[in-house]
Amino acid sequence: MKQGVIIAFMGKTQDRFCEYNSPKTTLEKLQMVQRVKGFDGVEMVFPHETTTPAGINQMMSDLGLHWAAINVNVKKDPQFVPGSLSRPVKQIREDAVAMIKSAKDFAKAVGAPLVTCCPLSDGYDMLFQIDYQTAWKYMIETIGEAADYLPEIPLFLEPKYSEVRVHCQLDSTSKALLLLKEVGNPNTGITLDLGHSIQSQENPAQMLVTTIESGFDAYIHTNDNDTKADWDLVGGSRHFLNYVELLFWAKECGYNKYFTTDASPRIFNIIDFFERHAEVSLGIWNLVNKLDPKKYRRLMAEENYNELMSLVTREIYRVQ
């Protein structure tokens, strides 16, 4: 199991009320990743954490770290705060697409396998706020153009129900898949964030399989929440069985990318927090590898629910 982390969480974070931890340079964040037992993968935010490809790769090499993804941030710049890829202002849309293209250039230069984008500022807060027809049309056009550029660097979209908009444009895995179907580019995929999927009242394992069976690739972010907000908690701390089932199906689908941690320490010690996440994730992965998938899938095909639940009790919960 390859585990990594979005390194932005190694430094200063904030919500509407508080700031957490101290600001850190990209090098300091990478040094912290190296200290976490179980992590060696890096997802870096473009352009805010990047410098020159040579300089970044030297840091990564010196610390023995590897690329999980480049995360392009099309929501932080002032012009993108109200939205980026679906805005009615053409220049703003073009600037957002240009940023994604630049992120692909950077990913190719450093050898990162993919670019992921979570367009959180695209959506709406109030009813009658946006023109749904043009917003959807613009999303197809902008994502299509970005996906066509440097097809060898695939573009992954990360859906989320809400935040920073009350209602995000890509508010579910299904809607993101519909968008990719409209775009029609095979060099695209879904970043399946376990917590986002749960917040959208989805089953993450089912959405992983649905993504792959729909002909698209998947990249997994791990965390947990209480379904009411995206708290980015330690994986398995609220939805243990969902996490087990997701890793079960990841194994069945031949998933071979990083399981990248999208979790926020906030009040907790950063290293300790991520080590707890790394160890529970690896523990669940090891548990999944001890299960007999042929037996589980045979019982599913037979609709033998009673025996399946008995297996879950004995082999996963281990309470018998």
Give exposure, 80-99, as e/b (b: 16+ Cβ within 10 Å). bebbbbbbeeeebbebbbeb
Q: Do residues 40 and 74 make contact, with C-beta atoms less than 8 angstroms apart?
A: no
Extents of the domains making up the chain: 3-291
- Which pLDDT score is estimated for 16? 87
- Which pLDDT score is estimated for 320? 76
Render each residue's pLDDT in the chain as its tens digit; 320 residues: 999 999 999 999 998 899 999 999 999 999 999 999 999 999 999 999 999 999 999 999 999 999 999 999 999 999 999 999 999 999 999 999 999 999 999 999 999 999 999 999 999 999 999 999 999 999 999 999 999 999 999 999 999 999 999 999 999 999 999 999 999 999 999 999 999 999 999 999 999 999 999 999 999 999 999 999 999 999 999 999 999 999 999 999 999 999 999 999 999 999 999 999 999 999 999 999 999 999 999 999 999 999 999 999 999 999 97
What 8-state DSSP symbol labels residue 234?
Answer: P
Q: Please give, one letter per residue, the 3-state secondary structure of 46-94.
A: ECCCCCCHHHHHHHHHHHCCEEEEEEECCCCCHHHCCCCCCCCCHHHHH
Both tokens assigned to 143 = 């994502």
Question: What sign has the CA pseudo-torsion 216, 219, 221, 224?
Answer: positive
What 8-state DSSP symbol labels residue 8?
Answer: G
Q: In terms of Cα–Cα distance, which of 276, 237, 211, 212 is closest to 5?
A: 276
Q: In terms of Cα–Cα distance, which of 97, 109, 102, 44 is closest to 70?
A: 44
Q: In terms of Cα–Cα distance, which of 203, 210, 214, 192 is closest to 241?
A: 203
Return the axis-axis angle of helices 90-110 and 53-63, rounded to nearest 10°. 50
Pick the CATH number of 3-291 from 3.30.110.40, 3.30.70.260, 3.20.20.70, 3.20.20.150: 3.20.20.150
Return the axis-axis angle of helices 204-213 and 240-252, rounded to nearest 10°. 20
pTM of the model: 0.97
